[in-house]
Chain A
Amino acid sequence: MAQEISDKMIDELEILAKLDLSGEERERVRKDLGQMLDYIGRMNELDTEGVEPLYHVMPAVNVFREDEETGSSIREEILAGAPEAVDGCFRVPRTVE
């Protein structure tokens, strides 16, 4: 039973995934996603009633550390790898008109 992937769903996925899914790409996503959802949907054959979702395989405890400053300033090193930097900050395209 093929899962229908509507245009509306793809529009929403574009926003969530921050990808342009237009033209050819759109049809590929429709086909691939439909096929994968059919396939992973076979999990529904399994009765998981009463089984808790398992997030961590290891007994998970939150790991805290003291909120202390360590090392030296790495601002320059970080900014050196940025596509665009100005005045010690990342530069991005205009965000408000």
Chain B
Amino acid sequence: MKEILRWPAAELAQKINRREIKAKEAVSAYLEQLYALEPELNSFVTVDEEGAYAQAGRIDELTQSGKNAGPLAGVPVAVKDNLCTRGLRTTCASRMLEDFVPFYEAGAVERLRAAGAIILGKTNMDEFAMGSTSETSAFGPVKNPWDISRVPGGSSGGSCCAVAAAQSLCALGSDTGGSIRQPASYCGVVGLKPTYGTVSRWGLVAYASSLDQIGPIARNVEDCALLLEVISGGDKRDSTCLDRRDVDFGRAFARTSASPQTSPQTSSQASLQACPEDVRGLRIGIVRDYFDEGLDGEVAAAVRRAAQQLRDQGALVEEVDLSLVSYAIPAYYTIACAEASSNLARFDGVKYGYRAGAEKGLHPMYRRTRTEGFGTEVKRRIVLGSFVLSSGYYEAYYEKALRVKAMIVAAFDKAFSRFDLLLGPVAPTTAPLLGQTGDDPLKMYLGDIYTVSVNLAGLPAISLPCGLDSRGLPIGVQLVGPRFGEKTILQAARAYEKACGGFALSPMTERAEKKGGMKV
């Protein structure tokens, strides 16, 4: 792999701001890697080579005139294809939006561009973010860069795959029930789902609005923190977006600028803020009920080793029962599908997107358009959502799920009265083979068991690589924090990363270099 592809985001941006290299060189190196691996991986729906070079040109002009081009100057970012990008096709990996070109930009993408980042393209995903394997895409499945006979996870599979294969330095994903954390785990990268309301959802094509949250995907914790800082903050266009002031995640964790002046949020963190990589005294609860039946033995062992690693560094690690675990998926799918059926009502063949031809009458056109435009999994969820919201079933299913959600939130509150963070697996297994899950939706849904409750409770959580199984596939460990606990999560994550000596990219990145070498 080329040297330039190895630099972390902060370092790359610094070199570009100091005019040691040009943004155009970074773009060309990443595009070369992207194109070399894309035939095998299919991680992108659209590559925006022209736009990327144009943005790089603007960055280079700024730096040439002596200006600072921002904290992400020239940093290539891949954006999940459910985030609107002005003038750049946004498909949600659906036939319904195959030719949809937004005339406005998502809030998170605006912030990225303002920070100097370069959007390389739009990443493949499960259709409308509904799936856990990235196989429900209308543009073909994404492959796992660690083993291309396997899935990368989903729904942000393209984003995680692109980062793991160094097709991009960082990426944005969205997480409704684990859609950042689970593919991050399968692909061996760092993925963070922020506290609900931290990142504006303006321009994110809605799946389940009360659960959706955009988050960063990166190779290491520091890049993840830097990206999170850039995309966080208030936005009047999303009424659920909070005007958080404590979003200096990147600055707080940059090794060079670690400063003890940051005001602590809670007393238990007071001593820790001074040294961001220190976990001494941090109270971490291992969620015992996540280690019950269904969890693969190798995954369990790796996650327990990660906990031990944090204990060795001075964290106070104890077991905790979260309870209600087996009710999280029923409540999640009820709420998520209900919201999806409502949100996806907008796709009717009138205002944008696909329209079925030759239908006489408005209602037959609506039905035909939606029947032809949506894939099987999307229709499955719309039907379930329509059912649980329908008269006569609303109380029994939808309201019941909201009561279960209240109990899950209370269970987390109780756990966080004793612990600063919770630790557990991200997914029950490592990446499954392609084509294994499609016919059995329930089996796919059960894979979300350790991630969905975090969305129901609106909490922040990170997925970190914690080793490989005997087949050489990445395993992920999840750290969950209380609301607004991103800094504590990042601090523990940094400490763990440091103790591991950093995380490796997929072996495929080295193979690409050999290929490139042969060409010369």
Contacts and interface: CB of A to CB of B under 8 A. Distances in A.
Contacts of B370: 17-19
Given A19-B370, A46-B404, A77-B103, A54 B409 contact: yes
B401 interface: yes
Interface stretch (B18-26, B199-207, B275-283, B376-384): B376-384
Nearest to A53: B402
B103 A43 contact: no
B103 A74 contact: yes
Residue of A14, A17, A46, A62 most packed against chain B (CB within 10 A): A17
Contacts, number: 159
Contacts of B471: none
A14 B367 contact: yes
A28 B383 CA distance: 11
A83 interface: yes
A42 B383 contact: no
A82 B350 contact: yes
A80 B355 CA distance: 14
Contacts of B149: none
Interface in B439-463: 441-442, 445, 456-458
Interface in B284-338: 324, 326-327, 329-331, 333-334
B383 A17 contact: yes
Contacts of B441: 32, 35-36
B400 to A, nearest CB: 5
B366 interface: yes
Interface residues of A, number: 51
Contact of B403 (A51, A78, A90): A51
A11 to B, nearest CB: 12
A84 B397 CA distance: 39
B350 A13 contact: no
B384 A36 contact: yes
A43 B334 CA distance: 10
Interface string B96-126: 0000111100000000000000000000000
Interface string B71-109: 000000000000000000000000000001111000000
B343 to A, nearest CB: 13
Given A35-B442, A80-B103, A18 B366 contact: yes
B497 interface: no
A13 B383 contact: yes
B442 A39 contact: yes
A1 interface: no
A8 interface: no
A51 B406 contact: yes
Interface string B385-400: 0111010000001011
B293 to A, nearest CB: 16
B331 A57 contact: no
A61 B506 CA distance: 45
Interface residue range, chain B:
35 or more
Contact of A40 (B103, B330, B360, B367): B330
Contact of B409 (A44, A57, A63): A57
B361 interface: yes
Contacts of B210: 55-57
Contacts of A48: 400, 403-404, 406-407
A37 B361 CA distance: 34
B362 A95 contact: yes
A83 B103 contact: no
A94 B350 CA distance: 13
A48 B402 CA distance: 10
Interface string A53-81: 11111100011010000000010011011
Nearest to A61: B239
A6 to B, nearest CB: 12
Contact of A93 (B359, B376, B380): B359
A36 B401 CA distance: 14
A53 B399 contact: yes
Contacts of B486: none
Nearest to B408: A54
Contacts of A14: 367
A27 interface: no
A83 B357 CA distance: 10
Contacts of B458: 57-58
B128 interface: no
B351 A78 contact: yes
B191 interface: no
Contacts of B387: 9, 13, 33, 37
* 5 A-B pairs with least C-beta separation: A53-B402, A57-B458, A83-B355, A54-B406, A48-B403
Interface of B: 100-103, 196-197, 210, 236, 239-240, 242, 324, 326-327, 329-331, 333-334, 341, 345, 348-355, 359-368, 370-371, 374, 376, 379-380, 382-384, 386-388, 390, 397, 399-407, 409, 441-442, 445, 456-458, 483
Interface of A: 9, 12-14, 16-21, 25, 28-29, 32-33, 35-37, 39-46, 48, 51-58, 62-63, 65, 74, 77-78, 80-84, 90, 92-95
27 contacts: A13-B383, A13-B390, A16-B390, A17-B370, A20-B368, A32-B380, A37-B397, A39-B333, A40-B331, A43-B334, A46-B327, A48-B404, A53-B405, A54-B402, A57-B457, A57-B458, A58-B196, A74-B103, A77-B103, A81-B101, A81-B103, A82-B350, A83-B350, A92-B365, A93-B362, A94-B361, A95-B361
Given A9-B387, A55-B210, A82-B352, 11 more contacts: A18-B363, A35-B441, A39-B330, A40-B333, A40-B334, A41-B330, A42-B326, A48-B406, A81-B353, A84-B355, A93-B365
